[in-house]
Amino acid sequence: MGNFTKPVGDTDFDSVVLQSQHPVLVDFWAPWCGPCISIGPSLEKLAEQFQGKVTVAKVNVDDNPEISARYGVRSIPYLVMFKDGKVTDTVIGAQPPQNLQKMIERAL
């Protein structure tokens, strides 16, 4: 994890994601998932680019089964955009950076 993405889990998901003043892009991932690792640098760049406007949070599905189950995570990477505590967009699988950027821009 880099300097701009924020790790979240079962204990702080609601406060960090659902109660955020800004939209939050949540990356459900695992360290053994190749596609998850491959999009990590893109997510880090987007987190830096949209710093102060959007939070990019990362949920390790192995360490946080409760929140992963709550959102029905079956395939990873699973990216979920939250705005005002509600899901506004989802995408499964590694995505090109421009798709992720469009997902963020739609939430702003």
DSSP 95: -
Selected catalytic residue, list 33, 43, 67, 104? 33
The yes-or-no answer on residue 36 being catalytic is yes
The yes-or-no answer on residue 33 being catalytic is yes
CB-CB contact of 77 with 35 (8 Å): yes
Selected catalytic residue, list 8, 24, 36, 54? 36
Catalytic residues: 33, 36
